[in-house]
Structure formats: C-alpha cells, structure tokens
Chains A and B, each alone.
Chain A
Amino acid sequence: MTRFGSSPPLRGYYFGLIALLYLPIGILFLFSINSNTILTFPLQGFSLGWYEKLLASDALLRSARNSLFVALGSSFTATILGTMVSLLMVRFDFRAKGFLVAMSVLPLIVPYIVLAVALLLLFSVLDIERSLFTVGIAHTVVALPYVLLIVGSRLAGFDVSIEEAAMDLGADYPVTLRRIVIPTIAPSMVSAWLTAFTVSFDEFALALFLAGTQPTFPVYLYGQLRFASRLPIMVALAVLMMIGTLTLVLIAERIRRME
C-alpha cells in the first residue's frame, strides 16, 4: 500500500489543529500557577499559592464533594437501569420493545434545556424540593443512553448459545444471568459506569436548573465567575479535576479496548 505513505501536509494540519486544541487548556494551566489574579503577558511569576488556597476554601470543597456524590449515585443507577434495558433489547422480544429502547435513547436527542425545564416542572408539581437528588435523577436519565450503547453492543457480540448451554445444563435463567451473562459483560459495565460518572461530574446545563441550595462543582464554578479574584482558585481545582476525569476516561477506554 505505497499509496498511504506519509503525507506532510495532512500531518502538519493534524498537528496544527492539535496545537490549537491544546492552547486554551495550556493557558488554563498557566493561569493556575501564575501568581497574579489576571493572566497577562509577560507573566509575573509562578506560584502554587492557588492550590494552597484551594484546600482552605470550604464552600469550594463542599461543591466538589456534592458533585462526587451526585456522580456516584447517578452513574450507579444509570448503569443498573441501562444494563437492564440492554438485556431486554438484545435478549428478549416483546411488544413494547421499540418503545422502551426509543425512550432510553431519546435523552441523547432532547435538548438539555428542554429536559431541564420539564424536570423543573415535574418537581414543582410533585412539590419536591430541588436538591442533589433532583440533579442526580436528571443525570441518570441523560447517562442511560451511553450505558445502553456500551453494554448493549457488548451483549450483542456475545454468543447467545453460551447462555443456552448453561440452561441446558440445568441452570435457571436468574442463575445464568448471575453466573454467565453478568461476568461476561462486567468489563463493559465498568466502562459504562465510568462514562456515566464523567458525564454527570461535568454536567452543568441540567444542574444549573435543578440544584437547590447545594451547588455541584460546575454550578459553584459558574457562580464564582463574577469574582475575578477567585478565578485562579477555581481554575486550580478545575485543573485537578481535569486530571482526575482524564484518568477515569483513559481507564474506561482501556477496559473497553481490552475486550
């Protein structure tokens, strides 16, 4: 295939675009280790002071903990529910299947702003106070399609005759699920869980509407944007979280590729 040798123009284009993509992220990083509160050239000096101040900011750390709580709860719920839908989608035939699958995938398509105000209406009709739980519920709904896509495609590639063999040998269906099916799709469930976790942890559009008095980290960050002097601390925390999220995503990808 001599045709596909190296192509300097395409290569240059790729690296040019990569440089542009990393520039703002690099700027953010610079901002977090810059000693001044505004980032102007030439740089004034470097310090890790913002990272120290970060550990002293209670409200900030509390919002990070809130996000962690929401992300753990919603990703766990979404993984369980999404796996259930995946099993139904790939292994069962029933009349309402198209309806259930469509309803599970639609949150990908419905604009977040629409879902946000619709849930706002629901919670006010039910007289439910907005809280971390209401944010978590919304995140479960939007994370479910990702779980369905990841677990469903794994399940579709898994030979059904293994299940049939287990049942021939006397296992009932729940035992087959527990001993054969779940262990086989476990890696994709972990990968789906990590994806759902990162979706929730980063989510702002829904959380802004549905978080009550306890802000998640993105909501808190947004509220602090008005105060220029607080910005570098926010960015410092954001850089730490970025590293955390990246680690999770890379682990999720690894697990997905291992299969």
Chain B
Amino acid sequence: MTPSLPSPKFKEFGGGVPKGRRGRGLDRRAAFWFLYIPPLFWLSLFFLIPLFLMFLYSFRADMRGSIFASWQPALDQYIKLSSTASYWRLLGVSVLTAFFIAFVSVALSYPVAYFLAFHARERFGFYLVLLLVPFWTSYLLRVMAWKIMLGTEGVINSFLIYLDVIREPLTSLLYNRSAVIVTLIYVWIPFATLPILAALQRIDISLFEAAADLGARPLRQFLRITLPLSLPGVFASFFMVFIPTVGEYVTPLLVGGSSGMLYGNIIQDFFTKAANWPFGSAMSMVMLAGTLVFVFFATRIVNLKDLLE
C-alpha cells in the first residue's frame, strides 16, 4: 500500500534547502525543535519513565515507607518469583494459550483472506467491510456477548433446554479456560485476516498463469506458489494476535473465572487486591522483557514494514 520513502530527503536541517536566502536553515532548525520537543517530552514522561520506575520498583524488598523512602536494590522479588513454581507454570500456560489462540485464529482466517483476495472480485469492498464490522464494535461488548451466550441462564443453555436436549443448564460453558480461548479467537479472527490478505494481494497473478502453462494443477500451484508467498502475512498475522494475547487480562476477568486466569490477571491482583507493588512490578518486568525478546526475534522472521501496514 505504501510506496517506499521518497528518495530526495533533506539530509539535515537546512540541508537540501536552496541557499538563496539566509535564515532558511534557521527556520528549519527552529521547526525541528518545535516538532521534536513535545512528543519527546510526552513519551518520555508518560511512557519511558513509568517503565523505568517499574524497573526500579521491582528491586525493592518490600513496600514499607513512602514511595520515596530510601531503599537498597534487592533481588528479593525476583528470587521469590523464580522459586515459586506456580507463577512459572501460569506464565507457561499463558504463553501456550496465546500460541494456541494465535494459531487457530490464523488457520481460520486464511481461507477467508484467500476468498477475499481471489474470489470476491467486484464485491471485495463490501465483503471486507462485512468482515471488519464486528472488529470495529466495542471489545468489552463482544466479550460480554459471549458471557451472555455461555452463562447458565445464557443463550446456549436456554436454547438447548428449549429444544429438550438437556434438562439442567450446563455449567461447564463459562468461567474456564475454554471460554477464554473461544472468546479471544472470536475477537481476533477479523484482525488476523488483514495481514494475510495483504500478502495474498501482493502475489503477481502471472505466476499462476506461468505455473498453469507448465502443467501445475491448482493444488500444486497453491502449495508451491500461494502458500510460500503468503507466509510473511501468515507470520505477521500470528504475531499480531500472539503479542496482545499474552498480556491479556480483561477477557479472563469476564469469562475466565478462577480457572481461566492468565499471567496478566496475577499482575492485576498484586496491584489491586494483594497490594504488593514490588512483586507485581517484578512480574510485569518479566512479561515486558519476554515480550520484547519475542518481538526482537519476530522481527527477524517478519519484515517490520509488513507488520505495520
């Protein structure tokens, strides 16, 4: 969609600007600072510094004293975290859950993207909007809709009772990990379609003609041309679902119950109910570090530009 950056660039402030009149470079230099200071200030104060504070806070031994109380850097929180198996297990479960959700979302989205790219033709715009409308509706609401669907007095249960399939409502539908998984896959499908679609649309049609001329049947064409060429989109789609899902705490809160909790819910607990901020900070640091390392490796596989489109 986006052409590459324009080649003639101002090399530095004032560079590339005609030298006719004096003061031009100065204009540009002033404009530079005018554009540079506000976002730098905002993002430093409200993004970088908070994360750095969290980093510092995770090395506090306890919460005693005010937030400015002097303290010695201590590894207590990390030692406690690493020696408690249940936290690691939950982190592992969260990563696996996110992996599964991302995998299924991508698998379910691929045929949709394929249909839109190659078979929707003149109705493409309409079909695409139709797919995206659920994605544009309120996230909390869609999660709530699943609560209404799966609850003991919910739609599925009352419908099954109405049909006489069951007598007593099924209680196993809501408040467990499957409910979280179903809900999140539902939420992600439209989103997961977009990067795959973009990759499929970039494929040069003449490749198929060439393959057909050389005698390749449709299945072989798919396996040898379409699938490999769409892989960057598939990976991008996978990462775009995986990354936010690992940090998810809202959906488990609403439909997960205590057995459907993810790592993010524990962090939330330590900052609210349990009120142990240093430990919560240490847990957040582990999650942040994990995410950044994962993204670093992900960008080795997927071109960042594909991800951002």
- A residues within 8 Å of B by Cβ? 1, 3-7, 10-11, 13-14, 17-18, 20-25, 27-28, 31, 38-42, 77, 80-82, 84-85, 87-88, 90-94, 100, 103-107, 109-115, 117-122, 124-125, 137-138, 140-141, 144, 149, 153, 156-161, 164, 167-168, 170, 172-174, 177, 198, 202, 204-205, 208-209, 218, 221-222, 225, 231, 235, 238, 241-242, 245-246, 249-250, 253
Contacts and interface: CB of A to CB of B under 8 A. Distances in A.
A7 B115 contact: yes
Contact of A173 (B27, B205, B271): B27
A214 B133 CA distance: 30
B204 interface: no
B24 A172 contact: yes
A141 B155 contact: no
B137 A111 contact: no
B70 to A, nearest CB: 14
Given A110-B51, A113-B287, A122-B49, 9 more contacts: A10-B115, A14-B115, A14-B116, A17-B189, A39-B158, A94-B36, A113-B284, A121-B50, A121-B53
Contacts of A202: 138-140
A225 B146 CA distance: 13
Given A87-B35, A173-B28, A173-B31, A25 B142 contact: yes
A14 B246 contact: no
B48 interface: yes
11 contacts: A13-B115, A28-B144, A88-B32, A100-B39, A117-B271, A117-B281, A118-B53, A160-B6, A173-B24, A225-B254, A245-B136
Say whether chain B's binding surface is mostly helix, strand, loop, or mixed.
Answer: helix
Contacts of B291: 109-111, 114
Contacts, number: 271
B130 interface: yes
Contacts of A144: 39, 43
A7 B218 CA distance: 13
Interface in B104-149: 108, 111-112, 114-116, 118-119, 121, 127, 129-131, 133-134, 136-142, 144-149
Contact of B246 (A20, A104, A111): A111
B267 A117 contact: yes
A113 B268 contact: yes
A21 B162 contact: no
Given A88-B35, A122-B46, A24 B115 contact: no
Contacts of A105: 308
Contacts of A167: 17-18, 24
B142 A156 contact: no
A1 to B, nearest CB: 7
Nearest to A125: B67
Name the residue among B16, B54, B140 with the largest chain A CB count within 10 angstroms.
B140
A13 B1 CA distance: 27
Given A106-B47, A202-B138, A39 B155 contact: yes
Nearest to A201: B138
B249 interface: yes
A174 B280 contact: no
B134 A104 contact: no
Contacts of B20: 168
A110 B55 CA distance: 14
Contacts of B44: 103
A8 to B, nearest CB: 10
A31 B148 CA distance: 9
B103 interface: no
**A-B CB proximity, top 5 nearest:** A111-B247, A24-B145, A118-B50, A40-B158, A122-B50
B32 A39 contact: no
Nearest to B128: A253
B215 interface: no
Contact of A28 (B145, B212, B254, B284): B145
Contacts of A41: 155, 158-159, 162
Contacts of B144: 28, 221, 225, 235, 238
A133 to B, nearest CB: 11
B131 to A, nearest CB: 7
Contacts of B244: 111-112
Contacts of B254: 222, 225
Interface stretch (B7-15, B72-80, B81-89, B228-236): B7-15
Contacts of A103: 43-44, 47-48
Given A160-B9, A225-B144, A249-B136, A121 B127 contact: no
Contacts of A157: 2-3
A245 B137 contact: yes
A94 B280 contact: no
A12 B70 CA distance: 65
Contacts of A115: 47, 50-51
B248 to A, nearest CB: 8
Nearest to B12: A93
